[in-house]
Structure 1
Amino acid sequence: MESPVFLLLCLSIITAFFFLLFLRSSRHRRLRLPPGNLGLPLIGETLQLISAYKTENPEPFIDERVNKFGSIFTTHVFGEPTVFSAELETNRFILQNEGKLFECSYPSSISNLLGKHSLLLMKGSLHKRMHSLTMSFANSTIIRDHLLDDIDRLIRLNMDSWTDRIFLMEEAKKITFELAVKQLMSFDPGEWTESLRKEYLLLIEGFFTIPFPLFSTTYRRAIKARSKVAEALSLIVRERRKEMMMMMSRSDEDDRKVIKKDMLGALLGGDDGFSDEEIVDFLLALLVAGYETTSTIMTLAVKFLTETPLALAQLKEEHDQIQAKKNKSSKALEWSDYKSMPFTQCVVNETLRLANIISGVFRRAMTDVNIKGYTIPKGWKVFASFRAVHLDQKNFKDARSFNPWRWQNNSGTSTSSLNVFTPFGGGPRLCPGYELARVELSVFLHHLTTTFSRRR
């Protein structure tokens, strides 16, 4: 039989919990919250959001609520009340006030799988420093002088192995994963990279799930895959650390020059003294960023082009002209070739706008935030939807049509704001690999259009 003291303690805790919940809900009722629907208890509208984003057309989740409540609305997803913004000015306000009014905060399904030391979850001065480091490995100069040759070589190597029929999405994922592993850790394609990629497929599937292993087999598989990926990366980190210590102990300057100058080398050789766990989390998340998003954009670019024959023909003509100027024995692209692809950049922009590989960003209000006559309570999540802005007729004429020509004179935009087009986010958390992604897609399209013809 339980003691009266224990029962009284339990009753007191439960009473206090519901009292605090009542006070919190009473406070929220006094605030002018954005209109919306919190859905079912605990899970809110999470299931509707997940099911929408597993289709080819996830827009209805936002479209239906914008039509009903307006461009700023309240919902409840991934266990938390969340304010969605489908408006350009509000999105800009959220991005510009990073670290002041808002801080980065993602659903636990994403943060648990990426790891607490990933760039996405870093804050303050550490994030600023590591973001700068990441950009230093993916800027135009580095791409031109060090990465372009590998990008070109690995894309051609993969395409040379293609048969008459391929599953393009799978091949694109293979290409981008091999590129990411090469750029971050200097590994060439092989059995190790392919086995690691298969675990990544399972890991990524768990991002937008309910993060309870008992109730979600997808999330449970993702957690197991995450452990395998971390174990594989930990082994590489330990081996490289040992290798670098041996190299640095040698007196011969030429021996020291052999040290690999990649992201892993920079993390190990810096002054921060990162642990193996911190480096593994950092690399794991960068591999996700460089792999999943770019492969998706490659696949959708081909889809949009094959549905728009005039665009495909003009793109092919541009790349045939580039190839015609080159030595017949050389297919390799140079930086000057990349800078001679004006229509390709229009295709890249339009694919990014229409595909929205980064559909938006999550933030958390650090204090009560007043905007557009509403109050976002402290602690609430916000989601700035780039997808909604890119597909808004007020910002782009015929917004849901693939029209690369709109970018030739920016004639397809009805606003002069530079912030209307944010395929890689913005503010201090602008995707550090944005230029690298554009180059990889451009090189991919070059070899695709000059090597293969479309077969119906």
Structure 2
Amino acid sequence: MLSIWLSVISLFIVIATHWLYRWRNPKCNGKLPPGSMGFPLIGETLAFLAANKTLDMPPFVKKRAKKYGPIFRTSLAGRPVVISSDPEFNYYVFQQEGKLVERWYMDSFAKLLHQDAARINGQKNIHKYLRNLILGHFGPEVLKEKMLPKLEDAINQKMHGWSKLSSFELKDKTSAMIFDFTAKELFGYEAEKSCDNFGESFTNFLQGLMSFPINIPGTAYHKCVQNQKKAIKLITSMLEERKRNPELRKGDFLDLVVADMKTETFLTDNFVIYMMFGLLLASFETISSTLTLAIKLINDHPKVVQQLTEEHEAILKNREDANSGLTWKEYKSMTFTHSVINESLRLGSVAPGILRRTLQDIQVNGYTIPKGWALMVVPAALQLNPNTYEDPLAFNPWRWQTISANVTAKNYIPFGAGMTSCAGADFSKVLMGAFFHVMVTKYRLTTIKGGEVIRSPTLGFEGFHIKVSAKHE
């Protein structure tokens, strides 16, 4: 009996040892990039998710890039991943969409967007359709013709309300403001008629989404799932109402989608609901984080406030009608404002990484990235590189007066790059430009509590409170 047990134990040890060896040394038709696969199953996920109270690139990436070079391998949440901070290779990858790589989502993200919706959205023809649809409702022409005035009005209303508060947590309010506006433009949501404050409940949603995907009460991921269910229920009710009453047209994004559901077979109810949720998440969470960071940085630099104020007061002075709103020509003339926006986007790097999956083996610098592996491009590693940007952690909008397009082409990717770059890039910039216009011409912002900026690895804020006062009270 003892000999049988010894044999079983020995066999188990052999199997476990072999499995552990295979985990640490994955199969590859060539030489894998250097790196470590970490612990079995969880890989190096815990180190990747560790919080860091600085704007610098995540220590996980910085430490390993220094040890292994700009391209290294790891394992996150049980999946093999190659992480790249090599600008030339990244540029090449983005040009190979649909050939060498395809869009890919983390498991936690795919679950919340629904697996089928995430998978279908990655198909080239469907992604092209969605991109054109988004540009048709949030692109430059629409922003120019009708959305800019609506943005300015919405910002005016929100800031007027904020000025009546003794102080408030800024990230909560920017999230709510952008959620309310984008939800109305997407599917006709009217915040003033809702008893639920959806916008503020979704604050720091992205941080929870990037946590370890354990769905048990008390975890950040569980909170994400619960909030996602609320949003899905809201969007579902909006879609059902619109289908029941086709004459009920609100001129929003959902009108366009419902019309196309009659001819596009992939536009099922399920796909539309999760697509709308994905668009909502992509807009309000990322823009609110960048805007919050920008306000914090501006408020910490009086010279920036002064030059912004001078630029926007000059716009008011040059208007023929003092009571008219912000025009597209005025927005395009905001030279320094655009520099502030670019610098905020550079420092923000809200997305911890841009993910792709390899469709075939890829050769780079003598290494092989196997087919089916995830590939993560890290914007912060490019945008905070001291070899590209002098004193990269300094908030210096003036640097954009001399940066050439050749530099930014491969080292500035706040909205991704290539064919799948973010279709909402112009919307994000216009919103920020309109916000700064209202902020410096009508209000004074006072920091009540400086708080902290946190990367975990997404951009987050802790305890940043401000007070807003009308300038002409």
Deviation at 1:142, TM superposition (A): 0.4
Distance 1:25 1:347, change over 3 A: closer
Deviation at 1:20, TM superposition (A): 9.1
Asked whether the 8 Å contact 1:173–1:291 carries over to 2, the reply is yes
Aligned to 1:174: 176
CA distance in 1, matches of 2:47, 2:285: 23
1:144-188 alpha-carbon deviations (Å, 9 max, x no partner): 112112101110000001134232212211211111112212333
Decide which of 264, 272, 292 is 1:272's aligned counterpart. 264
What secondary structure sits across from 1:455 in the alignment? strand
The Cα of 1:305 is off from its aligned counterpart by 1.5
Aligned amino acid, residue 158 of structure 1: K
Give the conservation status (yes or no) of the 8 Å contact 1:205–1:222: no
State the shift of 1:443 in Å.
0.5
Q: Residue 88 in 1 paired to residue 117 in 2? A: no
Q: CA RMSD in A?
A: 2.9
- The counterpart of 1:383, out of the listed 376, 387, 390, is 376
Change (3 A) 1:55 1:100: same
Runs of at least 4 residues off by over 6 Å: 15-27
Structure 2 residue aligned with 1:445: 436
**Which protein is richer in strand relative to its size?**
2
Partner SS, residue 190 of structure 2: coil
Q: Structure 1 stretches of 5 or more lacking a match?
A: 1-14, 248-257
Q: What is the number of residues matched between the two proteins?
A: 432
Q: Which moved more, 1:442-451 or 1:184-193?
A: 184-193
Residue 427 and residue 196 in structure 1: after superposition, are their counterparts in 2 closer, same or farther (change >3 A)? Answer: same
Alignment of 1:23-172 (within 5 A): 28=27, 31-52=30-51, 57-116=56-115, 117-118=117-118, 121-162=121-162, 163-172=165-174
In structure 2, give the amino acid aligned to 1:124.
K
Mapped to 1, the partners of 2:29 and 2:121 lie a distance apart of: 32
One-letter amino acid matched to 1:86: S
1:362-377 equivalences in 2 (<5 Å): 362-377=355-370
CA distance in 1, matches of 2:123, 2:176: 32
SS across alignment from 2:50: helix
- 1:417, 1:150 → 2: CA distance? 31
User: Using the alignment, how far apart are the partners of 1:119 and 1:339 within structure 2?
Assistant: 37
Output the amino acid matched with 2:133.
Answer: L
Shift of 1:275: 2.2
Paired residue for 1:234?
A: 236
Query: What SS class does the counterpart of residue 213 from structure 2 fall into?
Result: coil
Deviations 1:371-412 (A, max 9, x none): 11110011111101111011112222222211111112326x
Answer whether contact 2:108 2:210 (CA < 8 A) is retained. Answer: yes
Pick one of 328, 350, 353 that aligns with 2:346.
353
Find 1:261's aligned residue among 245, 251, 257: 251
Q: Is the 8 A contact 2:28 2:368 kept in 1?
A: no
- Aligned partner of 1:135: which letter? L
Structure 1's 147 and 360: CA in aligned 2 closer, same or farther, altered over 3 A? Answer: same
Q: Secondary structure at the match of 2:270?
A: helix
Cα deviation code 1:301-323 (max 9, x no counterpart): 11222222222211111011112
Deviation at 1:359, TM superposition (A): 3.6
Tell me if the contact between 1:358 and 1:386 (Cα under 8 Å) persists in the aligned partners.
Answer: yes
Q: 1:74-106 CA deviation, whole Å, 9 max, x = no partner? A: 111122111100110111122111111111112
d(CA) in 1 for partners of 2:257, 2:326? 30
Measured in 2, the distance between the counterparts of 1:438 and 1:194 equals 28
For 1:328-361, what per-residue CA distance to the aligned partner results, in whole angstroms no more than 9, with x for missing partners?
A: 7626312222122111001111111111123431
In 2 relative to 1, CA 153–36 (structure 1 residues): closer, same or farther, beyond 3 Å? same
In the alignment, what sits opposite 1:10?
A: none
Distance 2:120 2:45 in 1: 22
TM (norm. structure 2) is: 0.84
CA contact (8 A) 2:55 2:347 kept: no
**Alpha-carbon distance in structure 2 between the residues aligned to 1:51 and 1:17:** 29
Q: 1:305 is matched by which residue type in structure 2?
A: I
Counterparts of 1:174 and 1:215, CA distance in 2: 24
Q: Sequence identity of aligned pairs in percent? A: 29
The residue matched to 2:81 in structure 1 has which SS?
A: strand
Q: Which residue of 2 aligns with 1:436?
A: 427
User: For structure 1, which segment, 93-102 or 213-222, has the greater mean C-alpha deviation from structure 2 after superposition?
Assistant: 213-222
* Structure with the higher fraction of residues in helix conformation: 1
Which range moves more in the overlay, 50-59 or 295-304?
A: 50-59
After TM superposition, give the deviation of residue 201 of structure 1 in Å. Answer: 3.8
In the TM superposition, what are the counterparts of 1:250-329 in structure 2 within 5 Å? 259-270=249-260, 271-273=263-265, 274-326=267-319
- Whether 1:225 aligns to 2:216 is no
Cα offsets for 1:240-273 (capped at 9, x unmatched)? 11221xx3xxxxxxxxxx7333210111001215
Q: What is the CA distance between 1:22 and its match in structure 2?
A: 7.3
Letter of the 2:155 partner, please give it.
I
Flag the 1:25–1:164 CA change in 2: closer, same or farther, 3 A: closer
Task: Please report how far the alpha carbon of residue 452 of structure 1 lies from its aligned counterpart in structure 2 after TM superposition.
Answer: 1.8
**Letter paired with 2:30:** L
Bigger Cα displacement from structure 2, 94-103 vs 24-33: 24-33
Amino acid across the alignment from 2:360: T
Cα gap change, 1:334 to 1:281, in 2 (>3 Å): same
Contact kept, 8 Å, 1:118 with 1:285, in 2: the verdict is: no
Counterpart of 1:260, as a letter, is: K
Deviations 1:181-223 (A, max 9, x none): 1221233332528533345347544311222324972222322
Q: Which moved more, 1:114-123 or 1:91-100?
A: 114-123
Secondary structure of the structure 2 residue equivalent to 1:190: helix
Rounded Cα–Cα distance in structure 1 between residues aligned with 2:421 and 2:133:
13
User: In structure 2, what is the equivalent of residue 418 of structure 1?
Assistant: 409
Q: Residue 451 of structure 2 corresponds to which residue in structure 1?
A: none
Amino acid at match of 2:215: P
Question: Amino acid of the residue matched to residue 419 of structure 1?
Answer: K
